[in-house]
Amino acid sequence: MKVLGIRFSVVNKEASALADFLGSNGLGLPEQDLGMGDAEGFFGAVFPAGEHSWIEMWQEGEGMEATIMLHIVTDDADAWAEQAKANGLNPHGPTDAHGERIYYLQGPGGLPIAFLSKLPS
C-alpha cells in the first residue's frame, strides 16, 4: 500500500484572495487552466504539485459549503479502508466518482479526510 499524493481543498469566502496569494500575484505557484475561457469572476483555482498532488480552492456559495478537506491519493483505497477498519476507524464509502474510488473519514478536530484511488480502466 502506497500514498501517491496529497490534495488539499478549501472552500471559503476568501478563496479568490488565497488563489491570488498562491498564484502569479503572490508566491508564483503555477496554476492549472480550468478551461473557463473569458468567463468573468472567480470560479476556483487548482495549483498542481506533481502527478497526483495539488491544492484547490473554490468560492463558498450555494451548493458549496465552507470547508477544508485533506485528500490522500493511494494505490488501493479498498486496502486502506480495510486497514482503517482493522485499526478501529469507521470509513464511509466507497463512492465511485470522477474515475476514483473514494472513502471518507472525520479526523481529530473534525477535519474531513478522504482517501481514494483511481478506478481500473
Confidence (pLDDT) at 43:
81
Residue 62 within any structural domain of the chain = yes
The domain in which residue 11 lies consists of: 3-32+42-118
Confidence (pLDDT) at 15:
92
Confidence (pLDDT) at 53:
94
Residues 6+ apart with CB under 8 A from 119: 96, 99, 100, 101
Which residue's C-alpha cell is 469572476?
41
Residue 110 within any structural domain of the chain = yes
Q: What's the structural domain count of the chain?
A: 1
Residue 25 within any structural domain of the chain = yes
Cα angle 56, 85, 90 (rounded to 5 degrees) comes to 60
Residue 69 within any structural domain of the chain = yes
Per residue of the chain (121 residues), give pLDDT as tens.
999 999 999 999 999 999 999 998 899 999 998 887 677 888 889 999 988 999 999 989 888 899 999 999 999 999 999 999 999 999 999 999 989 999 999 999 999 999 999 998 7
Residue 49 within any structural domain of the chain = yes
pTM above 0.75, yes or no: yes
18: CATH:
3.10.180.10
Residue 37 within any structural domain of the chain = no
